[in-house]
């Protein structure tokens, strides 16, 4: 059997034992709480990983863009949610084609301007599109504030061609919290706020079938809040340095690592590996920026990146040799996936499979 020592570097490794454990744990949490799990596939973008999530009990997948959803529809997934405010006539045509092949489809919306184009296209085709209203529980990216949700939900529900399925949020501001307690507080607020918004919508006579929360750091607590019906974590399949930093997991739970080679040791306190921003991305470590990659068991980190160079500041007492191979835990696994056409599935040091990152680069 081929070993990781036979692989050319840099290369992305996925430890399948850790992956399976991560998938099982989140599925178990959702099952215990009676919440539907709809993982965000952006983290892996791999059909086979999505299939493992469904096999473990997920009801469907979340995606960010129609082109990502097309990849999973093509592979036979039949219940997809595009967790993004989809806008434009060209996108509406793609959604129509998706709706015709899927058992269930929903998309995000946070404005009448955006949703009305989709509504018009579906109405003209004699179809109805499920939409989920995006609610902003504190990230301040997209979505309406909770107090504006009833009005916007009503306006979306009134658009012929649309059906309001429910509400969704993403508490990405949890990534800025400095302690696990801070993250848990964000998570409880996320779940409770969404449940309260849903209740208000129902009092206003609107049907709210789905109350959906998200994000790997907040998932376990947010889905425990009464009234939450669905959870959409993505990163948990792989985890990464930021999840370790946030206290979501330990380094042993990181399924995705990068195998690299030391190509230069130009000074006693500096080594350079062949993995730069083209391999690791330049995303910062969360919650506190601290370099661009960690080596399990060593204090030295990649402190500077250019496209093909990772510059390690060598801590006292540690050393790196030209030609030495090193394993790196990246800051952000999702963006690493998006940089590579293939990742290598391993068990221990044995290479088991090559996984095609089929939805890589699908930005439209």
**φ, ψ for residue 78, nearest 5 deg:** -125, 5
Stretches 200-208, 210-218, 295-303, 332-340: which one binds a copy of itself (CB under 8 A)? 332-340
The residue ranges of DSSP E strands in 135-194, in sequence order, are 162-168
Query: Considering the rule CB under 8 A, would residue 306 count as an interface residue with a copy of itself?
Result: yes
Tokens of 265: 């040791």
Q: What is the DSSP string of 235-251?
A: GGGT--HHHHHHTSS-G
Binding residue for a copy of itself (CB under 8 A) from 60, 114, 138, 174? Answer: 114
> 52: left (phi > 0), else alpha (psi -120 to 50), else beta?
alpha
Given the complex with a copy of itself, which of 108 and 166 has the nearer CB atom? 108
Contacts to a copy of itself from residues 59-88, by CB under 8 A: 64-65, 84-88
Tokens of 188: 């409880």
Give every CB contact of residue 138 below 8 A, 6+ residues apart in sequence: 171, 173, 186, 189, 190
Rounded to a whole number of angstroms, the minimum distance from the CB of residue 308 to a copy of itself is: 5
> DSSP assignment, residue 140?
-
Contacts to a copy of itself from residues 2-21, by CB under 8 A: 8-11
Given the complex with a copy of itself, which of 30 and 171 has the nearer CB atom? 171
Contacts to a copy of itself from residues 335-364, by CB under 8 A: 335, 338-341, 361, 363-364
Query: Considering the rule CB under 8 A, would residue 309 count as an interface residue with a copy of itself?
Result: yes
Query: Considering the rule CB under 8 A, would residue 334 count as an interface residue with a copy of itself?
Result: yes
Query: Considering the rule CB under 8 A, would residue 275 count as an interface residue with a copy of itself?
Result: yes
Stretches 72-80, 179-187, 188-196, 304-312: which one binds a copy of itself (CB under 8 A)? 304-312
Query: Considering the rule CB under 8 A, would residue 217 count as an interface residue with a copy of itself?
Result: no
Q: Is 266 helix (H, G, I), strand (E, B) or coil?
A: strand
Contacts to a copy of itself from residues 160-179, by CB under 8 A: 172
> DSSP assignment, residue 284?
P
Binding-residue pattern over the window 236 to 265 for a copy of itself, x denoting contact by CB under 8 A: -------------------------xxxxx
Q: Cβ(255)–Cβ(25) under 8 Å?
A: no
Q: Cβ(95)–Cβ(66) under 8 Å?
A: yes
Rounded to a whole number of angstroms, the minimum distance from the CB of residue 34 to a copy of itself is: 30
Query: Considering the rule CB under 8 A, would residue 321 count as an interface residue with a copy of itself?
Result: yes
Rounded to a whole number of angstroms, the minimum distance from the CB of residue 184 to a copy of itself is: 22
Binding residue for a copy of itself (CB under 8 A) from 30, 230, 283, 336? Answer: 283
Bond before 287 cis per omega within 30 degrees: yes
Binding residue for a copy of itself (CB under 8 A) from 53, 281, 294, 300? Answer: 281
Query: Considering the rule CB under 8 A, would residue 91 count as an interface residue with a copy of itself?
Result: yes
Q: Is 148 helix (H, G, I), strand (E, B) or coil?
A: helix
Q: Which long-range contacts (C-beta less than 8 Å, at least 24 apart) are formed by 342-345?
A: 342/12, 343/12, 343/13, 343/14, 343/46, 343/256, 344/4, 344/7, 344/11, 344/12, 344/13, 344/14, 345/14, 345/16
Binding residue for a copy of itself (CB under 8 A) from 103, 205, 297, 307? Answer: 307
The full length of the chain comes to 364
Tokens of 178: 């400095």
Rounded to a whole number of angstroms, the minimum distance from the CB of residue 28 to a copy of itself is: 27
Residues of this chain that interact with a copy of itself (CB under 8 A) are 8-11, 42, 64-65, 84-88, 90-91, 110-111, 113-114, 117, 136, 140-145, 172, 261-267, 270, 272, 274-275, 277-279, 281-284, 304, 306-309, 311, 321-323, 334-335, 338-341, 361, 363-364
């Amino acid at each position: 059997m081929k070993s990781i020592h036979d692989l050319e570097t840099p290369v992305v490794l996925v430890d399948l034992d850790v992956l399976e454990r991560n998938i099982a744990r989140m599925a178990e949490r959702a099952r215990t709480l009676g919440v539907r799990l709809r993982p965000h596939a952006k983290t892996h973008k791999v059909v086979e990983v999505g299939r493992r999530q469904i096999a473990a009990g997920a009801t469907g997948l979340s995606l960010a863009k129609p082109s990502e959803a097309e990849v999973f529809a093509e592979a036979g997934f039949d219940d997809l949610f595009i967790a993004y405010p989809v806008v434009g006539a060209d996108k509406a045509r793609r959604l129509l084609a998706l709706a015709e092949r899927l058992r269930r489809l929903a998309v995000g919306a946070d404005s009448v301007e955006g949703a009305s184009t989709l509504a018009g296209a579906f109405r003209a085709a004699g179809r109805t599109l499920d939409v989920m209203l995006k609610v902003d529980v504190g990230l301040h990216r997209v979505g309406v504030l909770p107090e504006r949700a009833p009005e916007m939900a009503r306006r979306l529900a009134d658009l012929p061609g649309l059906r309001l399925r429910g509400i969704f949020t993403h508490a990405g501001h949890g990534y800025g919290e400095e302690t696990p307690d801070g993250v848990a507080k964000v998570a409880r607020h996320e779940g409770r706020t969404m449940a309260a918004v849903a209740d208000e919508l129902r009092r206003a006579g609107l049907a709210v079938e789905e109350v959906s929360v998200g994000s790997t750091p907040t998932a376990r607590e947010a889905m425990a809040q009464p009234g939450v019906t669905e959870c959409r974590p993505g990163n948990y399949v792989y985890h990464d340095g930021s999840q370790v930093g946030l206290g979501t997991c330990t380094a042993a739970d990181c399924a995705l690592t990068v195998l690299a080679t030391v190509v230069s040791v130009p000074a006693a306190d500096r080594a350079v590996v062949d993995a730069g921003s083209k391999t690791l991305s330049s995303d910062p470590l969360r919650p506190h920026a601290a370099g661009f990659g960690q080596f399990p068991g060593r204090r030295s980190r990649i402190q500077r990146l250019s496209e093909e160079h990772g510059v390690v500041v060598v801590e006292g007492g540690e050393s790196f040799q030209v030609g030495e191979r090193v394993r790196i835990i990246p800051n952000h696994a999702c963006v690493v996936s998006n940089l590579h056409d293939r990742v290598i599935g391993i068990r221990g040091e044995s290479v088991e499979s090559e996984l095609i990152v089929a939805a890589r680069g699908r930005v439209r």
